[in-house]
Amino acid sequence: MSYGLLKGKKGIIFGALDQNSIAWKVAEMAHSEGAQIVLTNAPIALRMGEINALAEKTSSIVIPADATSEEDLKNLIEKSMEHLGGKLDFVLHSIGMSLNVRKNKHYTDSNYDFTHKGFDISALSFHKLMKTTYAMDAINPWGSIVALTYIAAQRAFPDYNDMADNKAYLESIARSFGYFYGKEKKVRVNTISQSPTPTTAGKGVKGFDQFIAYANSISPLGNASAEDCAAYTISLFSDLTKMVTMQNLFHDGGFSNTGVSQEVMEKFS
């Protein structure tokens, strides 16, 4: 069902890799809610070509950008405004990657080259993106910027490795940049802390299958799906959430506020 929540709005969506990506679902829903969008991803991710099907489905174009490159970001924002015919109303940062996770480096034995690279991609890119849109005055007043995060920023989840640190930094950037963006340009900045979700990034974490089942059994509503996350993201892009900024918003079926569930208790009785 469509409510026309984003009618007349323009935005950029980072991070749609394949049909499982959270960004993929956000792009589909933004389109059906009436938005005009530009899709972007790292040049290497675009080589797989799946994003072209999404572009066709959502009447959008794809502009490559490595989110760690300020030059790429500037080019992306410029070209997007040209294509969309004006300033932006929303941006989704749906980007994450840890080389330590990928290369099976234990947290206690981090490779710091990997740590730097993963930090640049997963956290600093959010600052670089906002530095660019801010300097170019590319976002309309009451526009909305959202990044995706995970509760490992607040609590220890051993196999999440250095992504926990990256997410803590990402959430902090949302508050720090959100202050200036709100004060100077009336633009909102929030992070959504999503349930574990079976995507390429999600499944890269060791023990993901057991973990997703555990989270589901703890959460009173069960795990939130990628589609649920897209719907929540759209609400943050809409005018219905105009006064929400600098928040880390848990979207996890109640996981974050649950100590223990009946199902887990039964396993020990």
> For binding to ligand NAD (CB under 6 A), which residues are involved?
14-15, 17, 21-23, 41-42, 45, 66-68, 94-97, 121, 148-150, 194, 196-197, 199-202
| CB of 17 or CB of 173, closer to ligand NAD | 17
Which lies closer to ligand NAD via its Cβ, residue 22 or residue 77? Answer: 22
* CB 183, min distance to ligand NAD, A: 26
CB 176 within 8 A of CB 220: no
Residue nearest to ligand NAD (CB): 202
Q: Minimum distance from CB of 210 to ligand NAD (Å)? A: 13
Compute the least distance from the CB of residue 227 to ligand NAD, in Å: 12
Nearer residue to ligand NAD within complex by CB, 10 or 128: 128
* Closer residue to ligand NAD in complex, CB, 94/115: 94
Query: Cβ 83 to ligand NAD, closest distance in Å?
Result: 19
Q: Which is nearer to ligand NAD, 68 or 140 (CB)?
A: 68
Rounded to a whole number of angstroms, the minimum distance from the CB of residue 257 to ligand NAD is: 17
Amino acid at 239: D
Closer of 157 and 181 to ligand NAD (Cβ): 157
Q: How far apart are CA 103 and CA 149, in angstroms?
A: 21
As measured in angstroms, the least distance from the Cβ of 94 to ligand NAD is 4
Backbone CA torsion sign across 197, 199, 202, 208: positive
Contact in structure between 219 and 195 (CB atoms under 8 Å)? yes
Please enumerate, as own/partner, the contacts of 111-117 that have beta carbons within 8 Å and a separation of 24 or more: 114/162, 115/162
Strand order in the sheet with 61-62: 61-62, 36-40, 10-14, 88-93, 139-149, 188-194, 248-251
Retrieve residue 9's tokens. Answer: 């709005």
Q: How far apart are CA 248 and CA 250, in angstroms?
A: 7
Secondary structure E strands in the chain: 10-14, 36-40, 61-62, 88-93, 139-149, 188-194, 248-251
